[in-house]
Amino acid sequence: MPKRWEQYKGKSWITCNGRCVCARNLSVFYLTLLLVVVFSGLFFAFDCRFLAVNLSPAVPVFAVLQCGFVLACLLRTTLSDPGIIPRAGPDEAAWMEAEMASHSTVPQYETLRDIRINGRLFKLKFCQTCKLWRPPRASHCSTCDNCVDRFDHHCPWVGNCVGRRNYRYFYLFLASVTVYCVYIMVFGCINLVILSRQKNGDFIQVLRESPTSLVVILVAFFSLFSVVGLGGFHTLLICRETSTNEDIKDLYNTKRNPDLINPFDHGGGCANFCYILFGPTAPSLAKFDSELDPEWRPPPPPLRTENPRRQSQPQRPVSQQQQQQQQQPSSLHNQQTRYPSPVGLPPVQFVSGSDGGRVNGIGGVGRGGGNDDLAMATVSSSASSLSANRNRKPSGYGGRSSVTSPTTSASYIV
């Protein structure tokens, strides 16, 4: 019987019969693993060996324990299912689209729905890739092509998404790396001090005895800066019960809106911290290591019912011409019009008045005075271009001006 991971269509790499999930691009993760292993080996080979004899044998023991804990948290974060939400199959996707269309009031079905959690209104988004309604804190990772529950971010240093099921291991990795870097720096400096006393302050001779101590101390020092900042940021997020994705979107900013509450808060910073680190691990939603049920089928698609809003609206009367257009296909050749050909307008004559055009300030033929002075305008045009030169003005008064266009010609006598 096939397993669920065999039907997986995302970009994650699933190994060990569905028990290990990670990203396909692991180049940065290999760099992280190489830094931890190589510099730990140098610290064990030179500093710990000298300190075990001249200081205490407990120094290398604690170093090995810390290094093992760092590697365990790193591998657990990398190879764990972060909370992937399984995407719908072909039958289930068709049923989902039919169900959404049956409840929609527009031809294109809606992709947002409202849900209220602890008095806070959230909008559920429909993922067009996975064909599912995402939970409130879930998001789609473009790198792994998965919808992840309580999505925090995609971390290339660990080679996986950070979500609900592996966030605690990611935070423990940051905390353990911080402690381990401080441990290496402190005992590396102690190693150099003891060697300098034995060599009477000859620094060149000290470097010959332990050539890698200074290099390991510098690497731990610069690594500590980046890790401490990231660890402090995630400590603040844990106390507020907020993910990195939610913090970027500024969903629970109480400084701007004091009435804004976080519905996922467990009752304070300590309660949130204990829940994230020591709470129960959420079960896997994808269950890649389980077998498929060949008898499972999605429910039948619902029948599309008429929208009650449309039923309550009165029907408008339909004319005979609209009925003919509905029966016939809509094209340019079968539209019934009242006129079989374009309509030509006869010449139009405008009379300015008996006061020589002094009322409107235009003037007639006899500007000096006359009883019935006329201002003639001859216009020939088609019905489609009657207003082409409506806003055009003659170039001046007392002369003759003409305006010509491809469809309209006009001559003014002023």
Which residues form the catalytic set?
Answer: 155
Asked if residue 82 lies in contact with residue 127, where contact means CB atoms within 8 angstroms, the answer is no
Residue environment code for 264-284, b if the CB has 16+ CB neighbours within 10 A, otherwise e: bbeeeeeebbebbeeeeeeeb
Distance from C-alpha of 135 to C-alpha of 256, rounded to nearest angstrom: 26
Asked if residue 36 lies in contact with residue 73, where contact means CB atoms within 8 angstroms, the answer is no
Distance from C-alpha of 195 to C-alpha of 216, rounded to nearest angstrom: 16
Distance from C-alpha of 217 to C-alpha of 49, rounded to nearest angstrom: 16
190 in helix, strand or coil?
helix
One-letter amino acid at 263 equals P
Q: How many CB atoms lie within 10 A of CB 302?
A: 13
- Rg for the chain, CA atoms, rounded: 40
| Burial status of residue 332 (CB atoms within 10 A of its CB: 0-12, 13-18, 19 or more) | exposed
End-to-end CA distance of the chain: 96
Structure tokens at 39: 């510099």
Give 107-156 as a DSSP string: SSPP-EEEEEETTEEEEEEEETTTTEEPPTT-EEETTTTEEETT--EEET
Structure tokens at 238: 């844990």
* Look-up of token digits 């050539």: 211
Structure tokens at 87: 């995407």
